[in-house]
Chain A
Amino acid sequence: MTPVQPKLSTDDVSLLMVLIDTNPFFWSAANTTSLSFSKFLSHVVAFLNSVLLLNQLNQVVVIATGINTCDYVYDSAAAGALPNQRAESLLQKLVEFVVKDEQLGKEDSVDGIGSSLLSGSLSMALCYIQRVFRSGPHHPQPRVSVNGYMHSWTSFPFHRYVAIMNAIFSAQRSMVPIDSCLLGAQHSAFLQQASYITGGVYLKPQQLDGLFQYLSTVFASDLYSRNFLQLPKPVGVDFRASCFCHKNTIDMGYICSVCLSIFCKHHKNCSTCGSVFGQAQTNAPSTSNQKRKTPET
């Protein structure tokens, strides 16, 4: 295995891993509101084309993220990709992917809402990047661009939470920035953190009609150019914690010394891990106060 040498890469040649969310529930909901999937696709395809035009060596890989599976739908470096039929091949692959995603869902008989497999597509992107890292000393500078995600964190099962966080941390370790463009109604604390940790850009466009403009202005810039650009910065990631008992955001609180659960007031035992807490220190002076007060009255 060749050792990873990210330093030798040329930083104005990009390898752009684009993860697009193909969660059917989200997109059918979005149909009625602002941006339909077809509009979204036209913006994204135009964006991909412009990225490829920026530098002849630029490479674009698109990964579709379904609710049951993920797959590569387009790779500009692949042998079969004809330059003048990019959109066609992409769309064709996408249809095939959607069909596959639906079939897999039926087999598993998952009913109701599923959330997109961000962990899966992120891992695939990072694997691809690792392969590129080992391909030789001069490889394009990779970055991951997550588009269109709108899931809420609460809908993640626990194991997927860990998988996503692991993916984010491994991206951080291999210095791959994760850009995220959120189209949904709500922010994703997840992607916000991912971009924050990896030094990417987190953006939630206000004008969905102008998605292409956002993409080409903010996300098309390569890592070298980013040194000179003032890209949108997070207004402030709130790292304050909320307590486990009332879900209040707190500045100071009690922390279980065993499992690090956070509480806004003193409990007899930890609701998470069941550890029994000792007497809190703050009780001591209050009792002495009472003692001192009694003779006075």
Chain B
Amino acid sequence: MVDGKVIKRAKHKSTIKDPGTPGILEMTEDRFIFTPHNPKSSPSLNVLFRLIKGHRFTKEGTKQALLNLTHEQGGSYIFEFENFSDRNVCKEFVGHQCCELQKLHKQFVLGGVLTEAEFWATRKKLLNGDTSKVTRQRAGFKSALLSDVKPSADGRSNRVTFNLTPEIIHQIFAEKPAVHRAYLKFVPNKMTEKDFWTKYCRAEYLHSTKNAVAAAAEAAEDEELAVFLKHDDVWASEARHKIRRVDPTLDMEADEGDDYIHLPDHGMSRDGSDYATDSQYDEYRRSLSQVLNRHGAVVLEGRSIDVELGDTRSVAEALARSKQVELANGASDGMVNQERLERISQLAEIEDLQASRDLPLAPLFIKDPREYFDSQQANAIKTLGDTLAGTRQIKCSLSTSEAYGSLRERISEVKISGLGDPIVKPVIAFKVFDGLTQNIKSNKYQRGKNPQESVLDGLPKITKEELLLHWTSIEELLKHFWSSYPITTSYLYVKVRRLKDAMSQIYPKLQEIKESVQSDCRHQVSLLVQPMLQALDAAFAHYDADLQKRTAKSGDRPNGFV
């Protein structure tokens, strides 16, 4: 780091897994330059430090000594060093060059106000970046259809094997509420879990054969099996519920022109079996569109429970709970109906059939119009700071004829003597000009006209920079200060005192700035400084209050008494 320059051997990697291009990394005061050994292999890098937003690095003792510099516009530069000491030299160098953090770091860490760990503790995010996201993305349902879970036959015997994973079971519960309900009802009281799923798979098998007649026959014999074979009634009622929420003016029949929709399974035959079976077996058939719609809805809804999928029972119960919550959230049936009716009347309003909306109007009656209209005048006069009295009283002292007489007199006076010469004395004219231009001169009229113009820009450069620096340092200190409360350990106690001392050092500096600027800017500067002082005052007040509480507490307790 001598002479503000660091040269190290390093590999540049485009990604972490990239083997990297060996070369020389050179860091100077304002930029870093990477020159690969083989100039043909990849272009050399030359990047300014001020474009670097932050940097990350691997912990010492891990496999690779990496340094990752994040570019302002996204993207990053990853360098692998031969050993950690090399990396640390570069890291420190970057740390010193990089952004305004450096200033704060130097001021507080090197100044002893904060320790290294404390300083970086608040910036964990900056260091770790996106590696530790607070919320992990939850995996949703697979978009594959359940029917894709194909039974596998071994070909030799008549056995058909279904493979159910916890994942699939969860999905079955979500998509087929009737199965879910049956599971809660039957398992483990009436049958074992294994029996249940065997039955379910049998039902699925029957469905897959598309033999509605056979399915009906089986269902007639076994009522539990029938649950799986018949149409899902929960599903149906949910669908009815949803239809209610559809815009009541929507005319489904108008869409009948798109005829293929009305063919079963969208006109795509799943297999060759005929659909012209008796209607009595209808409930044992499922259409593809139903399955697709249900599946789509479940996938979109996403996973609403957060339970390990291992235990089927707990999954089933959790799902049931979440369903109940949903139901509770929805209004009761009666309410829904009422709402629906209201919406219909709103949407399908036929004006001719509505009662006329002419409300009985009462004409506006104002008791005393003069007071009504004049009431604001008092305000105007008051704010302008003039008195009403003076002239009016003088007016009263004259009779009408006298007043007119004097007016005529004045006019004839002008007639006789002519216009004054000079009309305006130079001294007075000067005063007038001065008065008129004072408005223009005063910066009150200049400010706020240009939105881009900031008050800070009007200040001397040094003052501006000082203000900004103080602002950031106060922010930093306050952040640490407030995060130390409530004080639970003696370490925090010491830290708070350190911070308080540092802040009280800034206080007089702000005052100095305020006094140093010229009078016309002083007001603005004090406006800028005011919130800083207030923030500091609040911190001091809290510190003192806390200190008092502590001493009072310790005073109450005699020594040796716990």
The answer to whether A210 and B428 have CB atoms under 8 Å apart is yes
Once bound together, how far apart are the Cα atoms of A99 and B401, in whole Å?
10
Q: Using a Cβ cutoff of 8 Å, how many contacts connect chains A and B? A: 198
Q: A238-B379, A249-B379 are in contact. Are A214 and B432 (CB under 8 A)?
A: yes
Q: Which residues of B contact A105 (CB under 8 A)?
A: 400
Once bound together, how far apart are the Cα atoms of A25 and B405, in whole Å?
11
Closest-CB distance, A12 to chain B (whole angstroms): 22
Closest-CB distance, B399 to chain A (whole angstroms): 9
The answer to whether A42 and B420 have CB atoms under 8 Å apart is yes
Q: Which residues of A contact B364 (CB under 8 A)?
A: 258-259, 273
Taking CB as reference atom, which chain A residue is nearest B375?
Answer: A244
- Determine if B562 is an interface residue (Cβ-Cβ < 8 Å): no
Within 8 A of A (CB), among B364-399: 364-384, 386-388, 390-392, 394-396, 398
- Determine if A82 is an interface residue (Cβ-Cβ < 8 Å): no
Once bound together, how far apart are the Cα atoms of A93 and B331, in whole Å?
84
Closest-CB distance, A108 to chain B (whole angstroms): 11
Q: Which residues of A contact B429 (CB under 8 A)?
A: 210, 213
Residue of B392, B411, B412 touching A113 (CB-CB under 8 A):
B392
Number of interface residues of B (CB under 8 A): 62
Residue of B376, B386, B419, B436 touching A217 (CB-CB under 8 A):
B436
- Determine if B435 is an interface residue (Cβ-Cβ < 8 Å): yes
Q: A26-B391, A213-B429 are in contact. Are A152 and B381 (CB under 8 A)?
A: yes
The answer to whether A186 and B386 have CB atoms under 8 Å apart is yes
Number of interface residues of A (CB under 8 A): 76
Q: Which residues of A contact B411 (CB under 8 A)?
A: 37-38, 41, 91, 94-95, 98
Q: Which residues of A contact B380 (CB under 8 A)?
A: 153, 187, 189, 192, 238
The answer to whether B398 and A185 have CB atoms under 8 Å apart is no
Q: Which residues of A contact B378 (CB under 8 A)?
A: 154, 242, 247
The answer to whether A272 and B423 have CB atoms under 8 Å apart is no
- Determine if A9 is an interface residue (Cβ-Cβ < 8 Å): no
The answer to whether A213 and B424 have CB atoms under 8 Å apart is yes
Within 8 A of B (CB), among A130-175: 150, 152-154, 156-158, 161-162
The answer to whether B365 and A38 have CB atoms under 8 Å apart is no
- Determine if A8 is an interface residue (Cβ-Cβ < 8 Å): no
The answer to whether A46 and B440 have CB atoms under 8 Å apart is no
- Determine if B482 is an interface residue (Cβ-Cβ < 8 Å): no
Q: Which residues of B contact A259 (CB under 8 A)?
A: 364, 366, 372
Residue of A106, A156, A271 touching B367 (CB-CB under 8 A):
A271
Q: Which residues of A contact B398 (CB under 8 A)?
A: 25, 28-29
- Determine if B425 is an interface residue (Cβ-Cβ < 8 Å): yes
The answer to whether A43 and B376 have CB atoms under 8 Å apart is no
The answer to whether A95 and B414 have CB atoms under 8 Å apart is no
Once bound together, how far apart are the Cα atoms of A28 and B411, in whole Å?
12
- Determine if A218 is an interface residue (Cβ-Cβ < 8 Å): yes
15 A-B pairs with CB atoms under 8 Å apart are A29-B394, A29-B398, A36-B410, A37-B410, A42-B423, A98-B408, A113-B396, A152-B381, A152-B392, A153-B377, A187-B386, A189-B376, A214-B436, A238-B380, A242-B382
List 5 A-B pairs, minimum CB-CB distance, nearest first.
Answer: A189-B380, A242-B379, A24-B403, A186-B386, A37-B410
Please give the residue numbers on chain A whose beta carbons come within 8 Å of chain B beta carbons, in ascending order: 22, 24-29, 31-32, 36-39, 41-43, 45-46, 87-88, 91, 94-95, 98-99, 101-102, 105-106, 111-113, 150, 152-154, 156-158, 161-162, 184-187, 189, 192, 205-207, 209-214, 217-218, 230, 232-233, 238, 240-242, 244, 247, 249, 258-259, 261-262, 271-274
